[in-house]
Amino acid sequence: MKLLHISDLHLGKRVNEFSMIEDQEYILTKIINIIDEEKPDGLIIAGDVYDKSIPSEEAVKLLDEFLGKIAKRGLQTFIISGNHDSAVKLSFASKIIDVSGIHISPVYDGKVEPFVLEDEHGKVNIYMLPFIKPVNVRAIFPDEEIKDYTDACRVAIEHMQVDKSDRNVLVAHQFVTGAERSESEDITVGGLDNVEADVFDDFDYVALGHIHGPQKIKRESIRYSGTPLKYSFSEARHHKSVTVVELGAKAAGDKSGACVEIRTVPLVPKRDMRVLKGSYMELTDKANYEGTNLEDYMQITLTDEEDIMDAMAKLRLIYPNLMKLGYDNKRTRSSNASLEVTAVEKKTPLELFSEFYEAQNNQPMSDEQVEFTRKIIEDIWGN
């Protein structure tokens, strides 16, 4: 059984006020080409199909065209909503669309029935779990103990009643502990949204979305495919790709994992994201940029000690898609050195608020204030 795994299309996204729609249309065509070459049995799109819960018209049109091309090929496709999507809007008319082989997960209601594909080795069950929060699962299973995101996923999976003697695939959109983030993702301070990888032990392959860099978590078959395009300069060195998963045979009654082979097919964008650093004279010297793709999206750091007048406008005569411009010199290094850098991701929201309160009031919060703040934080983050 061959499956293609992609995620985090973020259709309609703007990066530094640049619309990515043309780049997204280009890369979706590349994905269609890969589908034609690989001839998979199924395509997985693991959430964040859109960049916003209310997508733009051009984003909706682009998805419609993409899914239309897939439907014409008769390819079974499995789509879940991510944290950027509206599960209700994304799954509109899904029961009608279902007959075309495009399967979109509904709003999570505690019932996740697998779609079944078959090959010469038997069944492959595809379970689709859209992005969930503890508050969502707690409302459906009030008798279960659900303290955090790990508990929420564990309970949701337990109620799937997965038969481990079959080959099973889970499509999910969560932040699994150990994943390496990038700047273009939504970050929850304090690790509140972490899910432990052990909750996925029942599955032969876990197709994840949410993290933008392609990577494995704990074992080869728990994987993020990453975004098909770079959406921040922290991703400049990423190698974007489509993940190809081939599920081999699993002996009857065998509850150990099936044989899984994984490889990637590179995705080359219309415009790359590049980071350049040097003096104004160096970066405007034709010998240093000739032969490069000047249409790439650029982040440029000038090393000149004196600011260059109208530097952005002047540099855009050579690099029209210059997105960000900064300086690295004695002045900026001195300024940066005076700023205390704090690893906020390692602190809980309560710790951060407590530090802020103490800095503003020259005294720590009382026990009553701490408990009151804790309850508010839990309500906001749905824990």
Is residue 36 predicted with pLDDT exceeding 50?
Answer: yes
The arithmetic mean of pLDDT across residues 73-88, rounded, is 96
Share of the chain above pLDDT 90, in %: 76
The arithmetic mean of pLDDT across residues 68-91, rounded, is 96
Q: What is the DSSP letter of 181?
A: P
The answer to whether residues 48 and 10 touch, using CB atoms and an 8 Å cutoff, is: yes
Q: What is the DSSP letter of 180?
A: P
Q: Which residues pair with 324 in a beta bridge?
A: 299
| Strands of 69-174, DSSP E | 76-80, 102-104, 115-119, 122-129, 167-173
Is residue 301 predicted with pLDDT exceeding 50?
Answer: yes
| pLDDT band of 256, cuts 50, 70, 90 | low
pLDDT tens string 107-137:
999 999 999 999 999 999 999 999 999 999 9
| pLDDT band of 184, cuts 50, 70, 90 | low
The answer to whether residues 49 and 11 touch, using CB atoms and an 8 Å cutoff, is: yes
Measured between alpha carbons, how far is residue 186 from residues 164, 189, 248, 358 in Å? Answer: 33, 10, 35, 27
Which pLDDT value is given to residue 382? 55
Own/partner pairs for 310-313, CB < 8 Å, 24+ apart? 311/280
Is residue 211 predicted with pLDDT exceeding 70?
Answer: yes
Residue 381: which H helix or E strand, with range? helix 367-381
Where do we find the tokens 């795994």? 5
The residue type found at 122 is: G
Q: What is the DSSP letter of 177?
A: T
| pLDDT band of 376, cuts 50, 70, 90 | confident
Extract the tokens encoding 122. 């038997």
Is residue 340 predicted with pLDDT exceeding 50?
Answer: no
The answer to whether residues 203 and 218 touch, using CB atoms and an 8 Å cutoff, is: no
Could you give the CA distance from residue 129 to residue 246 in angstroms, rounded to a whole number?
A: 21
What is the chain's mean pLDDT, rounded? 90
Q: Quick one: three-class SS letters along 345-376? A: HHCCHHHHHHHHHHHHHCCCCCHHHHHHHHHH
Could you give the CA distance from residue 273 to residue 154 in angstroms, rounded to a whole number?
A: 38
Which pLDDT value is given to residue 338? 47
3-class SS of residue 172? strand
The answer to whether residues 268 and 242 touch, using CB atoms and an 8 Å cutoff, is: no
Is residue 367 predicted with pLDDT exceeding 80?
Answer: yes
CA angle at residue 90 from 242 to 141, to 5 degrees? 100
Which pLDDT value is given to residue 284? 97
Counting every residue written for the chain, the total comes to 383
Which pLDDT value is given to residue 254? 57
Give, rounded to a whole angstrom, the gap between the first and last alpha carbons of the chain.
Answer: 38
CA angle at residue 193 from 188 to 198, to 5 degrees? 145
| pLDDT band of 186, cuts 50, 70, 90 | low
Q: How many CB atoms lie within 10 A of CB 309?
A: 7
Annotate 233-265 with DSSP letters as a single string: GGGTT---EEEEEEE----TT--SPPPEEEEEE
Q: What is the pTM of this model?
A: 0.85
Q: Enumerate residues 6+ apart whose C-beta is below 8 A from 36.
A: 73
Is residue 96 predicted with pLDDT exceeding 90?
Answer: no
The answer to whether residues 146 and 152 touch, using CB atoms and an 8 Å cutoff, is: yes
Strand order in the sheet with 260-266: 102-104, 76-80, 42-46, 2-6, 241-247, 260-266
Extract the tokens encoding 286. 């034709």
